[in-house]
Amino acid sequence: MEAPSPTPQDSPPAFSKRRALFLGKDSDSIIKTFFGSNAMVAIVVLALITLFLFKEGAGFIGLYHKSLEEYRESGLEYVDILKEQRDDYTELNRYLNDVKAEWINGLKADGLSQAEISKTVFSPEAKALFLGYMRVGSDLKKFVKQKMDVAIGIRDQHTTNQNLTTTLTNFGARINNVKKSGYTLDDEDLAKFTLLLRNSDQAERSAAIQASATVSDADRADYLALLEAEYTTLAASIQPVDFDTAILEVTDEQDRYAEILTEMDLSIYKVLQSADTVEFNNAALSKRIETFKELNELFIDQISTHRNKLANWDQHEPVSNWRALGAFLSGKNWVTASDQQDWYGLLPLLTGSLLISSIALFFAIPFGVGAAIYVNQIAGPTERNFIKPYIEFISAIPSVVIGFFGVVVFGEAIRLLSQMDALSWVPFFPVQERLNAFTAGCLLALMAIPTIFTLAEDAINNVPRHFKEASFAMGATRLQTSMRVIVPTALSGIISAIMLGFGRVIGETMVVLLCAGNRIKIPDFTAGPGVFFEPVHTMTGIIAQEMGEVVHGSLHYRALFMVGIVLFFASLLINYGAQWVVKKYSKLGD
C-alpha cells in the first residue's frame, strides 16, 4: 500500500529551510549589518562636520576680542566718536544739496533757461546758504582726518610689530636648525638661500646652487650668515609701541577741538539766517528748509553730549569676551579689509536672509499648499498625473540655472515693468535695481514650492479615509470636506511642510548670491513695501562669496564660520520645530 502524499499542511514552510551562510552570517544578518553600518557612517560624518564647524568658528571670539582691544587702545574708538559729529554734519550737507537739486529740477520744469537757472541758483543769497554751509565743516573734517591718521599709524605699527615678531620666531627656529650638524637643507631652505643670494647681488652663485640643488659646507656657513643678518635687520625694524604714550597724540588738542565746534556753531547760525533771504517760490522747498533748520538745531544741541562722551572715554576700560560676541550678534556693519577697523556684524546678513525668506514663503505657501490640496482632493486622475510630476520636476532644476534666469530675465522684467506709466502711482516705482530681495525671494519661492507641495500632500494622504467618507455621509460637499475635515486634520503636517520649506529657502546659496544684489546693509524698513525691492546680502551668500578669498585661520575666516554656526542652529531649530509641531498638534494621535 502506497504511503499517502504529504499535504500542504504537512509540508514545512519555506522559511524554515536552512539558509545559506556567507562568512558565518545569514542574509538577514548581512542586511542588518549593511544598513546599520550605513546609518553609523552617516552619523559619524555629520558629527565630524559639526565638530569641524565649531572648531573653526570657536576661535573667532578670542580673535575678535583682541581686535576690539587694539581698536580701543590705539585710539581708533576715540576717533570714531569724533567721526560721529562729522558724519552728522555730512548728512546735513547732503540733505541741503538734495534741496538744491530739487530746486534746480523745479526751475527746469517751470521752463527757465540754463542761464536763468544759473543766475537764480548762484545768486549771492543762494551762495551764502549752499556754499557757506559746505565750508562750515572744513576745519572739523581736517581735525578728524588728522587724528584718524595718527590712530591708524599707531594700530598699523602695532600690527607690523606682531607680524615681525612672528617672522623672527620662524627665523630663529630656522637658524637653530641650520646650526645643527646633522641637519640637511630641504627644498624650502634652498629656495630661501637662493633668494638671499639674489638679494645680495650674487645672482650667478644663486643660479648655480639652484641648478645643482646641493650646498657645500662653505655654502651652508654663508646661508647661516645671511639668515642671521636678515634676523638682525628685522629685529632692528621693530619699533615698540607704548599705547599709553601714543594715545596722547590722538586725545590732545581738546581746546582746539572745542574752538572748532564753537566756531562751527556760530557759522551755522549765520548760514541759517541767510536762508531766509533766498526766494525759492516753492512751498515744499520752503518747508524742507525749515526742516533743515530744525535738524541743525538738534545737531548743535548734541555738541555738549558729544564732548562729554569724548571726555568720559577711557582707553583702559576692559573689553569683555561677551562684548565681542555681542558685537557679532548685534553688529550692524560687515566691513572687511578696512584701513581702520574690520567689523563683523550679523544683523545685515540675518535681516537680508529673513527678508528674502519672508517674500519666498509669501508666494510658496499658498501655491504649494493650495496645489497639494487641489491635486489630492479635487483634481481627477488625468490632472493629477499631469500636475504632480511637473511641480516635483522643479526641484530637479539646478539652482544656478534658476539664478541665471533671475539675472537675465526675471529681474530685468520686474525693473522694466516698474517703469510703465500705468504703474507710476506706486510710491516706490520705478525700481532702480533689477537684483534685489524681491527678485531673489520670488525665485526661492519657485524652489520651495516642490518641497512644501510634496510634504503637504503626504500629510493629506495620511488622513484616514473614513474621515472623508463620514463627511460625505453627512452630506458635505467635496470642498467642505477638504477645507473643514481633511485640511484641519492634516494641519500639523502642513505646518511642518511649511517649516521645512522655510529651511530650504534660508539655506539656499546660489540664487541669493546671483539675484539679491549683495549689498551689506540693513534694509530700510521705514520705506514700507519699497523695502522688498532693496538689494540685500544673506548669510549663505556671504560665505560663498568671501570664503575663497580669506586667509586660513584669520579673523575674517573664523567670522564666516561663525555665520555658518548661526545657520547650523537656525536649521536645527527649524527641523526641531517641525517635529514638535507634528507631535504636539497631530490630531491623528489623539
Q: pLDDT tens-digit profile of 365-393?
A: 999 999 999 998 888 888 888 889 889 88
Structural domain contains residue 47: no
Residue type, 483: M
Q: Does one domain contain both 384 and 288?
A: no
Give CA–CA dist 562/539, Å, rounded. Answer: 10
Instruction: Give the end of a domain, one of 257, 289, 313.
Output: 313
- Regarding whether 401 and 276 lie in a shared domain, the answer is no
The per-residue pLDDT for 575 is: 84
User: 92 and 221 share a domain?
Assistant: yes
User: Does 181 reside within a domain?
Assistant: yes
| Alpha carbon distance 545, 518 (integer Å) | 9
pLDDT tens for 250-301 read 998 888 999 999 999 999 999 988 888 888 888 888 899 999 999 999 999 9
Instruction: Tell me what the mean pLDDT of segment 90-96 comes to.
Output: 94
293 and 369: one domain?
A: no
| 93-109 b/e (C-beta count within 10 Å ≥ 16 → b) | eeebeebeeebeebbee
Whether 209 and 215 have beta carbons less than 8 Å apart is answered as: yes
User: Please, which pLDDT band fits residue 1 given cuts at 50, 70 and 90?
Assistant: very low
Return the closest-CA partner of residue 411 out of 501, 511, 503, 537.
Answer: 511
In a shared domain, residues 138 and 244: yes
**Using omega within 30 degrees of 0 as the cis cutoff, is the peptide bond preceding 430 cis?**
yes
Round to whole Å and give the CA distance between 153 and 175.
Answer: 32
Indicate whether 546 belongs to any domain.
Answer: no
Overall number of domains in the chain = 2
What is d(CA 452, CA 4) in angstroms, rounded to the nearest whole number?
64
| pLDDT classification of 160: cutoffs 50, 70, 90 | confident
**212 within domain boundaries:** yes
Confirm if 351 and 95 have CB atoms less than 8 A apart.
no
Measured CA to CA, the distance from residue 328 to residue 255 in angstroms comes to: 36
Do 382 and 251 share a structural domain?
no
**Domain termination site, one of 313, 329, 363:** 313
Domain-located, residue 519: yes
Asked whether residue 368 is assigned to any structural domain, the reply reads yes
**Is residue 160 in some structural domain?**
yes
Range of the structural domain that residue 373 is part of: 347-539
Quick count: other Cβ atoms within 10 Å of Cβ 362?
A: 13
Q: Is residue 4 part of a domain?
A: no
pLDDT of residue 588: 47
Q: What is the CATH number of the domain that holds 480?
A: 1.10.3720.10
Q: Which three cell numbers stand for residue 485?
A: 475635515
380, 267: one domain: no
Nearest to 299 by CA among 91, 147, 128: 91
| 224 and 93 within one domain | yes
499 neighbors 573 (Cβ within 8 angstroms): no
Percentage, residues of the chain above pLDDT 90: 41
Q: Are residues 269 and 395 in the same domain?
A: no
292 & 432 share domain: no
